[in-house]
A and B are shown apart, each in its own frame.
Chain A
C-alpha cells in the first residue's frame, strides 16, 4: 500500500529548490514519502517565521498542530501559513525528541498561534517556550496526562484501532462501564488518594482581581475591579462557553475565554476510527453546517487518495455547501438579534426559513442536522426525485424574498445600529494577526475567502462576489453575513441550472478505503470561516493523525481584544457576532 504514489510525491524533487537556497541551513525539504513542506530546526524557528511573515508575505497563520510519531520517538509541530493575497500554503515543521518536546512559541509572530499552541500543550504535551499563558485549554488544569499521545489510554480503552475484535462473531453485548471498577469513565493514577488532596481552583483565571483603579471612569472615582463569570450555563453564550470578565464598573478591562466544557475528544476518537467512520463524526463538529464539514473532510481524504469525484457530485456538493451557509447565517443573524435583546422574534423568522432548508437536507441525506452525506469520491446517494424542484422553489422564490424582508426588518433598525456600529472593532491588521477567518475577517476589510483565494471543488466556475466590509464591527459582520446569504443563493441558482446528469461515485463505494501514506491539509470556506483538516496516514486503515483547524475556536483568540473597553452587555453582542459553535470550539 505504501508503494502507491500519492499526488504530493512528485513535487518532492531532490534539487535544492528556491526556498532551500534562500534559507541555507534553515530549511530542509521534508523528504518522507507523501509529505511536503520543509523542516526547520527549532532554535531557528522564530527567526525564520518572522522572515516568512515580513519578507515573503505569509502573513496569515492558518494552523498549528502537533503530531506524535511514537515509532520514531519524535514529536512534530506542523505550521501552515498563507498569504492573504491568495495562493497555496507554505508548510513548515519543527521536530523535537519525544521525551522532552520543547519548541519556541510563535505567538510573538502570529497572535493566532496562541490558542492552538495551548491546545497542542494540553493534548500532546508539547511545551512552547515563551508562550505568555501556557495553560491547559480544553481539559482542566490538573488533569493527568496528555490524551493525544499515542501511548495514553483512556478508561474505556478497548483496542488501539477500530473495528474492535469482540463485536463479532462472539457478540456478548456489554456496557463498558460495567467493566470499570468505578462504574464510570474514570481512571486515576495508582498513588492517588482523594483524602488530603486539594483540587486545583480557578486562581489562575482570577489573577489581578481586587485592584483599585481610577482609569476607565474618568479618573475621579476609585473603583474596585470586579470579576464576573459568564457561563458556562448562560443563555447567551451559545452553548457551554465561559468567559471570565474583569470589570471596572461596567467597562471590560480583561476577558478570558474558558472552554472545553464540550470537549468530546473528537481528534482522539478520529485517530482510532477508520477513514469512513470519521465522516458522521465531522457532522458533529459545527453541527449547524454539517454538510460543509463533510465537504472539508472528503476533500482532504480525496487529496490523500488522489481521486476526484464525478461532475454531478461536484455540483451537488456545492449546492449542499451553499445551502448550509444560508442556514448557518440565518441562524447566526437570528441569534445575534436575540443577544441584542430582540428576544425571539427575529430568531423565529430565521428558524422558519431554516426549517425549509432542513427539509431538503432530510430528504436528501436522511437527517435534518447530521447529514453524513459525502463519501470519498462521491456521495452517499443521488438526489431523490423532486428534490431539485424543491430547491428551485426555495432558491428562486422563497429565500430571496425572505432575505429582502430580513434586510428590511433589521438593517435600518435604529436600535440595532446603535447597539452594533462601532462595537467590537477588529482592525484588519489585527484580524490577520489573530488568524481570524470567515465573516469576522472579511468584515474587517480583508477580502479573503478560500473559495476565491485557493478554489476547491468547482468554485472557480461560479460567478459570485466575496462579501467584504471595512468597519470591522458587529454591524459589519452582520452585513457580511447578509451579503453572503445573497451570494450563496446566486451560486446555488447557477449550480441548479447547470447540474449535469450522471454518476455520483468514482469507483466503488467501499467501507475500507485504501489511503496511501502521507499527509494532507484540506480546507474549505465553512460558514464560520476556514475549516481545515490535517490528516496523516501511515497506510493503515486508521489515520495516524487527524486534526481539525476549527474556525470558531481560532476566531475566539480575538475575542478579548474586541471586548476590551466595551460594556458588559456588548460582550454578548460581540460573541454573537463571531458566531461560535461549541461543538467546533471544543471538538
Chain B
C-alpha cells in the first residue's frame, strides 16, 4: 500500500525521539554534568541522542589523542629545568610540512654543540598534527598535547610557538598520558642502564689497554 514506507520511517523517527527522553528519565535528577552518566551516554551503549554540553563538560580524550606537540622538561631537585631535547634535529627532518625550526648553538669554548636547544619553533598554522615528530624522537622529548583550546585573535603574534610556549614539565605529560609516560620512563631507565654498561665496558677496555701498553 502506498505510504506504508513513509509511515514506517516516521515510526523510526518517533522511536529515536522517544528514546532520548526515556534515557533522560533514566538519569533523572543527575542527567547533566554527571561523569557516570556521561561515560555511558557517550559510548556504544547510548540510547537516543547524546549531546556533549561543551564547554561545561568535555569528552574524555583518549590517551593517544594528538593536537599540537609540546616539549618535555624534567624538574630537577634544585628547581632548575632540564630539557629532555638534545637538539638532534630528527623531528625537524621527519616533519612532513617542515614546520619545526631548531636552533642549536655551539659552545664558544670547546666548539662542541650544546645539547639544550637554544630555541625551538613550531608554526601551528602549518603543523598537521600528524605525530611523526613524537613518534621518531629518540629521546622521548617531544610529545603530542591534548590541549585543543588554542584559538586566537591574531595569528601573527601568537601562532608561531617558541620554546617558552612549547615547554611543559614531565609531570604534565604524566597527567595527560599516563600509559605512554610509564613506557617512556621505562625506556629512559633502560637506556641509562645500557649507557652505563657500555661506559663501564669502555673504561675497562681503556684500563686494559693502558695496562698492556704499560707492560
Whether A and B are associated in the same complex: the answer reads yes
The smallest C-beta distance from B184 to any residue of chain A, in angstroms, reads 13
Neighbouring B residues of A410 by C-beta, 8 Å: 9
Interface assignment of B119: CB less than 8 Å from any CB of chain A: yes
Neighbouring A residues of B4 by C-beta, 8 Å: 412
Q: CA A502 – CA B78 in complex, angstroms?
A: 44
Please, which residue of chain A has its CB at the minimum distance from the CB of B162? Answer: A173
Interface assignment of B84: CB less than 8 Å from any CB of chain A: no
Q: CA A417 – CA B61 in complex, angstroms?
A: 42
Please, which residue of chain B has its CB at the minimum distance from the CB of A411? Answer: B5
Is A511 a contact of B9 with CB atoms below 8 Å? no
On whether A362 and B62 interact (CB within 8 A), knowing A173-B121, A345-B13, the answer reads yes
Q: CA A322 – CA B65 in complex, angstroms?
A: 22
Q: Which of A352-372 contact B (CB under 8 A)?
A: 352, 356, 359, 362-367, 370, 372
Is A511 a contact of B6 with CB atoms below 8 Å? no
Interface assignment of B104: CB less than 8 Å from any CB of chain A: yes
Please, which residue of chain B has its CB at the minimum distance from the CB of A163? Answer: B93
Is A163 a contact of B9 with CB atoms below 8 Å? no
The smallest C-beta distance from B102 to any residue of chain A, in angstroms, reads 5
Neighbouring B residues of A393 by C-beta, 8 Å: 43-45
Neighbouring A residues of B176 by C-beta, 8 Å: none
Is B98 a contact of A164 with CB atoms below 8 Å? yes
Is B5 a contact of A167 with CB atoms below 8 Å? no
Q: Mark A321-356, 1 if CB is under 8 A from B, else 0.
A: 000000000000000000000000100010010001
> What range describes how many residues of B lie at the interface?
35 or more
Neighbouring A residues of B128 by C-beta, 8 Å: 280, 370
Is A397 a contact of B44 with CB atoms below 8 Å? yes
Contact check: which of A170, A367, A380, A414 meets B135 at CB < 8 Å? A380
Is B94 a contact of A511 with CB atoms below 8 Å? yes
Q: Mark A154-192, 1 if CB is under 8 A from B, else 0.
A: 000000001110011111110100000000000000000
Q: Mark A405-416, 1 if CB is under 8 A from B, else 0.
A: 100111111111
Is A169 a contact of B89 with CB atoms below 8 Å? yes
Please, which residue of chain B has its CB at the minimum distance from the CB of A395? Answer: B44
Contact check: which of B96, B100, B129 meets A281 at CB < 8 Å? B96
Residues of B within 8 A of A (CB): 2-6, 8-9, 12-13, 16, 42-45, 49-50, 61-66, 87, 89-90, 92-96, 98, 100-104, 113, 118-121, 123, 128-132, 135-136, 144, 160, 179
4 interchain residue pairs of minimum CB distance: A171-B103, A412-B5, A280-B130, A168-B89
Residues of A within 8 A of B (CB): 162-164, 167-173, 175, 273-274, 276-281, 345, 349, 352, 356, 359, 362-367, 370, 372, 380-381, 384, 390, 393-394, 397-398, 405, 408-417, 509, 511
